[in-house]
């Protein structure tokens, strides 16, 4: 992964930990581990909270009715790739 994306991935991990008040450090979130259910163990409410924080922080809308949400939120790496492609700030 290019260094810029690694920096973004670390920033996204920190946002997730802060927004959800998780008892882990951002570095403990594995890039390819599932965010939902198994893996990080987030539920649908957590995912909505992450979407809200990401939308505010990076300046684009993550919509609940997006058919791609399952793949977007499948892992930290996939969420980071989506943010890199759509961010406005």
pLDDT band (50, 70, 90) for residue 51:
very high
Q: Which among 10, 12, 6 has a CA at the least distance from the CA of 73? A: 12
Predicted confidence (pLDDT) at residue 56 exceeds the cutoff of 90: yes
Domains with residue ranges and CATH for the chain: 3-86 (1.10.1200.10)
| Tokens standing for residue 12 | 């996204």
Structural tokens at position 77: 């790496």
pLDDT digit string, tens, across residues 1-38: 566 689 999 999 999 999 999 999 999 999 999 999 88
| Burial of residue 16, with CB atoms counted within 10 A of its CB: 0-12 exposed, 13-18 middle, 19 or more buried | buried
pTM for the whole structure: 0.91
Q: What percent of the chain has pLDDT over 70?
A: 96
> Rounded CA gap, 19 and 28, in Å?
16
Dist. CA 18–CA 85, nearest whole Å: 23
Q: Mean pLDDT, the chain, as a whole number?
A: 92
């Amino acid at each position: 992964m290019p260094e810029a994306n690694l920096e973004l991935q670390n920033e996204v991990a920190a946002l997730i930990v802060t927004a959800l008040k998780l008892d882990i450090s951002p570095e403990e979130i594995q890039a390819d581990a599932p965010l939902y259910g198994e893996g990080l163990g987030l539920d649908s409410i957590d995912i909505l909270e992450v979407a809200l924080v990401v939308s505010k922080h990076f300046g684009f809308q993550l919509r609940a009715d997006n058919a791609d949400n399952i793949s977007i939120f499948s892992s930290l790496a996939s969420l980071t790739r989506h943010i890199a492609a759509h961010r406005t700030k």
